[in-house]
Structure 1
Amino acid sequence: MSWIRVLFGNPVTLIAGIVLAAVVFVAVTASWIAPYGINDVDVPNALHAPSTTNWYGTDELGRDVFSRVLVAVQASMRVAVISVALAALVGVTIGVLSGYRGGWLDTVFMRVVDVMFAFPVLLLALAVVAILGPGITTTTLAIAIVYTPIFARVARASTLSVRSEPYVAVSQTMGTGHGYIITRHILPNITAPLIVQVSLSLAFAILSEAALSFLGLGIQPPQPSLGRMIFDSQGFVTLAWWMAVFPGAAIFVVVLAFNLLGDGLRDVLDPRQRSMIEARRKR
């Protein structure tokens, strides 16, 4: 049974994949498919309930909530993808070098990682944004910084496991260069846990971006963001519930889909989990 069949043989994972495909489509095409401009003010039409004209209703300035949610999802995905890519690049480099070389390099790297782990993720992100100032670039950098230690830990643990394999020892005995061993033996064999970690980190990155924007330290107006939209809806909860519900639902659906896909990837890429699933299907 191929890994694709195992992955999408689970209906929940299949639905998560379809949802994420739709989210990626929205992230790429939001600026074109949004029916209205994100900052088109129509005060006479303010706080109108969802209708065929405005599917998600309008906000306190008469702006179309549906259009703003689409563009906000686009912004959140951009921040999440770039920040996780940066965190993975730096974290995996640190983790692989630390696990492969060991010694003082491992000690120094891991002590720095331990210090970063001592702070809650959101608190550390708040500190970075407070120092560098709010904005989409700063938010992306802050999220990348706080998730780098996670990738470093995962990469180091996986590297330590692979480094003890006989074929690595044989390569070292033959005088093979460290760069060759890392790129041909280490990295290909630690991709499975890293792929799962990327999926989970994307979910938490979206939550982190929403939290920072809610606090006014993330994406700044007039660029819409899901967290900021929820913040702006606080004074209109009883009058216009849709202003908070639809941005909140977008966050919930995207984060849940990433988490479910991560669980599915873990089941596929972990040989023990895959064997259990295949045995269960044969009964």
Structure 2
Amino acid sequence: MSQTFRQPDILEIARTEGKVMVEDLAERFNVTVQTIRRDLTELANAGKLERVHGGAILPSGVTNIVYEERRRLHEDAKQSIARACAAAIPDDASVFLDIGTTTEAVAQALLDHSNLMVVTNNMNVANILLANPDCEIVVAGGTLRRSDNGLVGNITARTIENFKFDHAILGCSAMDEDGDLLDFDIQEVLVGQTLLKRSREVLLVADHSKFQRNAPVRIGSLQDIDRFFTDRPLPPTLMDRCAGWGTEVSITG
């Protein structure tokens, strides 16, 4: 297979799996590891991948991955995280659901719950929950972000300030090694920071790929989270910090 045809396939694997490894690709394409390293270097130089030790990941930094691509990433992990998170939400509760593809999976997993009041700034979540006739849906106003149907900004934050939620379910775009939760949009971060103050219990849903990404704006810390649902163990140092903070980590994978 020529390099011209191989590189689009490598990109598609990265979009599906979130990360590609040199040795795995060499075996898959029946070429040398040196050939794959050249492919990854060229893709990185073109801004399509970001090199990491032993492979490459989708690029991060100051711009998020396109929303439809995020939906396809780690779908099985998101589903298992969503089921575990939804199981922790009782009936007869007030819940906030944040923007994100994993929180959308949680909304799907909540369709069998009864007597919920769900407030959301995610139009996709609101549309999913229409299938549950026993769920009151409140859409927080704000500026519509067309890329993902999220509502963000000061109006959204002020709407949230009128509530005290039993449970807030948050996502994040990235997680730093010290436990800081990060995102790309400062207007969305304002909403997340407000939720941390207006919720009795805060639940974070994020798959393992968030451990490998960077983003420029800080939402808060795992120290601010009551329960964290993810699909793989955190680095040992961060697991120890969570234990000290009282943050419960539930690994679904």
TM-score, normalised to structure 1, is: 0.21
Larger Rg: 1
Between Structure 1 and Structure 2, the one with more helix by share is 1
Comparing both chains, which one has the higher relative contact order based on Cα–Cα distances under 8 Å and sequence gaps of 6 or more? Answer: 1
Between Structure 1 and Structure 2, the one with more strand by share is 2
